């Protein structure tokens, strides 16, 4: 599964400014809702409901908020960088700086899980993670992801 098939340039935010989990989710959800053609408030509600089940902050400075919503027919991703890090209730208690937001339809569990696994695998590579942290523009982010995407 190719990340750049699901991640559009318009959904890459390299300077997130919110100071809490709710704000970060709202920032990330805005372009994704627009791209997906779904209601922003509904998408935020789905993502926040998932957070209530357990934090999607996986640790090591990473969070992967995700959810399922009707009305879309494929996987859509958002990506964001917060330069200082935000408390995201991560498993290791460290602030999250890198965020991948994933949204799929209710009946796409397989695609959803594939994407989560792929992103988690990519982010275990410290060099890859550091390059993402240094990205300043959406084009920089795409340039970092593209070689990793080619390998798969």
Q: What is the pLDDT of residue 100?
A: 97
C-alpha 75/C-alpha 146 separation (Å) is 18
User: Residue 109: pLDDT above 70?
Assistant: no
Q: What is the pLDDT of residue 67?
A: 93
Model-level pTM? 0.94
Q: Is 66 a catalytic residue?
A: yes
Domains of the chain with CATH codes: 3-145 (3.40.930.10)
User: Both ends of the chain: CA-CA distance in Å?
Assistant: 7
Model confidence at 107, pLDDT cuts 50, 70, 90, reads confident
Burial level of 136, CB count in 10 A (0-12/13-18/19+)? exposed
Q: What is the rounded average pLDDT of the residues 42-63?
A: 95
> Per-residue b/e over 58-94, b at no fewer than 16 CB within 10 Å?
bebbbbbbbbbbeebeebbbbbbbbeeebebebeeee
Q: What is the pLDDT of residue 71?
A: 82
Q: What is the pLDDT of residue 116?
A: 85
User: Residue 41: pLDDT above 80?
Assistant: yes
Q: Looking at 26, 66, 112, 129, which residue is catalytic?
A: 66
Q: What is the pLDDT of residue 120?
A: 87
Strand partners, 94: none
User: Residue 12: pLDDT above 80?
Assistant: yes
Q: What is the pLDDT of residue 18?
A: 97
User: Residue 152: pLDDT above 70?
Assistant: no
User: Residue 112: pLDDT above 90?
Assistant: no
């Amino acid at each position: 599964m190719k990340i750049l098939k699901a991640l559009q340039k318009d959904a890459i935010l390299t300077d997130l400014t919110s100071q809490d989990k709710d704000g970060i989710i709202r920032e990330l959800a805005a372009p994704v809702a627009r791209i997906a053609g779904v209601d922003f408030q509904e998408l935020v509600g789905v993502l926040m409901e998932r957070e209530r089940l357990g934090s999607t902050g996986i640790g090591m400075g990473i969070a992967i908020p995700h959810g399922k919503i009707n009305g879309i027919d494929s996987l859509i991703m958002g990506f964001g960088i917060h330069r200082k890090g935000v408390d995201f209730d991560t498993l290791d208690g460290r602030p999250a700086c890198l965020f991948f937001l994933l949204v799929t339809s209710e009946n796409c569990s397989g695609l959803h899980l594939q994407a989560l696994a792929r992103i988690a695998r990519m982010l275990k590579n410290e060099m890859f993670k550091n390059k993402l942290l240094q990205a300043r523009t959406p084009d920089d982010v795409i340039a970092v992801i593209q070689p990793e995407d080619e390998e798969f």
